[in-house]
Amino acid sequence: MSEHALPTQTTPHIDALALEREIAQLIVKGLNLPMQPEDIDPEAALYGEGLGLDSIDILEIALIVSKQYGIQLRADNQENARIFTSLRNFAQYVAEQRIK
C-alpha cells in the first residue's frame, strides 16, 4: 500500500453516498421526475408522503435498479416495506445485494 493511499475505513461511507446519488439519478431519470437527483432527501419516504411515489413507480424503480445492479427484488418479499422506506434504506439494500 502506498503512503498516499486513503484509509479504507472511509471508503464504505463514501461508497454509500455515491450509491445513493446513483440511485437518485436512476429514480429521477427513470420516472421523469421534475426535480434534480440531489433534491431527493435520502431520509424521506419514497412511497406516499415524502417523494410521493406510488406502487407503479416503485415497480419501475425495482426493475431499473435490478437491471443496473443485478439484484433480485420480489413483490412478495416481506422486507419490501423496509427496503423502500427511504432512498438511504434502498441504497443500503442494493449495496448488500448487488452483483454488478
**Which three three-digit cell numbers place residue 58?**
416503485
CATH of domain 12-33+42-97: 1.10.1200.10
Q: What is the amino acid identity at position 52? A: G
**Which three three-digit cell numbers place residue 57?**
413507480
> What residue spans define the domains of the chain?
12-33+42-97
pTM of this structure: 0.82
Q: What is the pLDDT along the chain (100 residues), one digit of tens a residue?
A: 445 544 444 456 769 899 999 999 999 999 999 999 999 999 999 988 889 999 999 999 999 999 999 998 888 889 998 999 999 999 999 999 998 8
Expressed in percent and rounded to 5, the helix, strand and coil fractions of the chain are: 55, 5, 40
